[in-house]
Amino acid sequence: MSGTDLERAARYPDAVDVAIVGSGPTGAAYARILSEEAPGLTIAMFEAGPTVSDPPGAHVKNIEDPDRRAAAQRASEGPGAGADTVDSPGAVKSGERRARPGTFLLADGYAFPGEDGLPVAAMSTNVGGMAAHWTAACPRPSGSERIAFLPDLDDLLGEADRLLGVTTDAFDGSPFGAVVRERLAAAVDEGRVPATQVQRMPLAVHRREDGRLVWSGSDVVLGDASRENANFHLVDESLVRRVLVEDGRAAGVEVRDVRTGETHRVRARAVVVAADALRTPQLLWASGIRPDALGRYLNDQAQVVFASRIRDAERLVPESNGAHGAREQVAAEGALSEQSGVSWVPFTDDVPFHGQIMQLDASPVPLAVDDPVVPGSIVGLGLFCAKDLQRDDRVEFADDATDAYGLPAMRIHYRLTERDHEVIDRAREEIVRLGAAVGDPLDPRPFTMPLGASLHYQGTTRMGPVDDGESVCGPDSEVWAAPGVFVAGNGVIPTATACNPTLTSVAVAIRGARKIASDLASESA
Ligand code: FAD
């Protein structure tokens, strides 16, 4: 064999026990749990995008050099690389159709006449998926956000905290975090139980031994357990074009080496499709797995934003961390500033919004910050709204058109209901109230983001307790119509959440991974 043949053979095994499609945090959760609980199983993870960070899957904000960071973001933007992103001042508030750095938008099919559509529905194509670019907020769902038919949900969420490296104290050094929470609590907490009172946002952020704060990406989820597992291989630039099904069961994947254009068939006893909430149903569709509920109940969290300047900020800056020192720290830290407190106003069924209150550069919404502003004193408020779920809100796939990857083109049909409009109006009122509680509004009008801006798309491969045509998979994420095929990601969440969904998706993935571990162990016995 030539060197190239050997490399190709090493990249694409003929057969594995488990093939995982996608290297975002939910695919990574499968690799981690299987590595921990069934290390004898052979696992191949195929990722369409390139490796953009080290270790593979690491958050690009941990890259200190701004040019290298920008290059990693561009390399994650798939067919959208080169397009303008929302980093430019004012672009978010102008409502222009632009992606966030590290993501790209659908080229077409995102809205149809008479419908609302999801004009800024976005994806990332890179090792680590969107979690190489995310804000890392990991709140727990509450009330109707919870998946009521999963009896072990709390245990799974605890495990998800472990895999994602969730902490609540990473930003305790932020100068105004406590002030923001105190002021919000005074406006919100009355009548709430402790779990839904204002608190620190749980974040997948931790402090390294050298003192630097780092954001978790899929690298943290994979952990040493996967990296040191000789039976686990992550194969980048490998687009899975089909899940192979034989006798109604998972049989493997057909994967194209993006570098050479060659196609390989890799046999597998179980296949996990963790390709995001739009591309997971796309791949199932392309593979002929087309249950009624596929792509349906699509839901995004409408998002309202507002900004305030903390009242009396200069007076409140602690002596030891004065305004001047804090400003220098921002410059030195670059991507991850110690000023970035993140507070949480939890969702309740009575107040169906999830509040993410962020200081300065932790906000996904760039603000025009003028120079004399005390670092950390500009607070970006975001309220995410739970959607009124409808069967007809859906992503469909074209038989006669393909996307940039040669897969069936997406067509999004999506409408806000009257109830959605009422909830958004309430959220607009509430955010002004919260902004005024914290400080002086920068602009008196709240801004409703274009639909899709939340980056939290759910429902398209939803889980259900029984196979009644309203769900794609069962409580273990195994597709009803194709045993041995598992789906992962936010699309599996069947409830209308307002909170950031990744913690829940990782929790659900842990359950699926355990099912594979036990199924394959009993088959081998
Ligand atoms: P992804 O991370 O999207 O990964 C899917 C992977 O599958 C991609 O790498 C893709 O290239 C690959 N893939 C797709 N199709 C194929 C194929 N056919 N073959 C091979 N590979 C394929 N969530 C939160 O919970 N909290 C937050 O604070 C938060 N903030 C965010 C901020 C930003 C700026 C962004 C971009 C996202 C944010 N999110 C947040 C969303 C979060 O990143 C996602 O929920 C999470 O990454 C989803 O994980 P996943 O594994 O399901 O999919």
**Structural domain boundaries in the chain:** 3-74+117-160+216-301+456-524, 168-201+302-385+415-450
Q: Which pLDDT value is given to residue 525?
A: 66
Q: Which residues of 40-50 are buried (b: 16+ CB within 10 A; e: fewer)?
A: ebbbbbbbbbb
Q: Which pLDDT value is given to residue 401?
A: 96
Q: Which pLDDT value is given to residue 189?
A: 97
- Shortest-distance Cα residue to atom 40 of ligand 1: 134
Q: Which atom of ligand 1 is nearest to the CA of 101?
A: 34
Q: Which atom of ligand 1 is nearest to the CA of 25?
A: 51
- 486 CA to middle of ligand 1, Å? 17
Q: Which pLDDT value is given to residue 191?
A: 94
- Shortest-distance Cα residue to atom 39 of ligand 1: 134
Q: Which pLDDT value is given to residue 87?
A: 63
**Signed CA dihedral, 122, 124, 129, 131: sign only:** negative
Neighbour count for residue 94 (Cβ, 10 Å): 11
Tokens, residue 370: 């003028």
User: What residues have CB less than 8 Å from 244, skipping those under 6 apart?
Assistant: 250, 251, 252, 253, 254, 265, 267, 271, 287
Report the residue among 51, 124, 130 best suited for mutation to probe ligand 1: largest number of ligand atoms under 8 A from its CB. Answer: 130
Distances (CA, A) of 206 to 65, 165, 224: 20, 7, 16
- Shortest-distance Cα residue to atom 12 of ligand 1: 22
- Shortest-distance Cα residue to atom 15 of ligand 1: 275
Q: Which pLDDT value is given to residue 332?
A: 36
Residue-wise DSSP of 137-165 = B-PPP-GGGS-TT-TTHHHHHHHHHHHHT
- Shortest-distance Cα residue to atom 38 of ligand 1: 134
Q: Which CATH superfamily does the domain covering 3-74+117-160+216-301+456-524 fall into?
A: FAD/NAD(P)-binding domain (3.50.50.60)
Q: Which atom of ligand 1 is nearest to the CA of 364?
A: 34
Contacts 24+ apart (CB under 8 A), 147-152: 147/463, 147/493, 147/494, 147/495, 147/504, 147/508, 149/464, 149/465, 149/475, 150/475, 150/508, 150/511, 152/511
Alpha-carbon gap, residue 286 to 275, rounded angstroms:
13
- pTM of the predicted model as reported, rounded to 2 decimal places: 0.94
Q: Which pLDDT value is given to residue 445?
A: 94
Q: Which atom of ligand 1 is nearest to the CA of 136?
A: 28
- 131 CA to middle of ligand 1, Å? 6
Q: Identify whether 456 is a catalytic site residue.
A: yes
Q: Which pLDDT value is given to residue 5?
A: 56
Helix or strand holding residue 503 (H, E): helix 502-524
Output the ligand 1 site: residues, CB below 6 A. 21-27, 46-49, 100, 102-103, 124-126, 129-131, 133-137, 239-240, 274-276, 279, 283, 364, 455, 489-490, 500-502, 505
Q: Give start and end residues of each alpha helix (H) in 189-229.
A: 218-227
Alpha-carbon gap, residue 348 to 493, rounded angstroms:
18
pLDDT tens-digit profile, the chain (525 residues) = 455 555 556 799 999 999 999 999 999 999 999 999 999 999 999 999 999 999 999 999 999 999 999 999 999 999 988 777 776 444 455 567 889 999 999 999 999 999 999 999 999 999 999 999 999 999 999 999 999 999 999 999 999 999 999 999 888 877 788 899 999 999 999 999 999 999 999 999 988 888 888 999 999 999 999 999 999 999 999 999 999 999 999 999 999 999 999 999 999 999 999 999 999 999 999 999 999 999 999 999 999 999 999 887 777 765 434 433 443 343 333 344 555 678 999 999 999 999 999 876 433 344 444 445 666 788 999 999 999 999 999 999 999 999 999 999 999 999 999 999 999 999 999 999 999 999 999 989 999 999 999 999 999 999 999 999 999 999 999 999 999 999 999 999 999 999 999 999 999 999 999 999 999 987 776
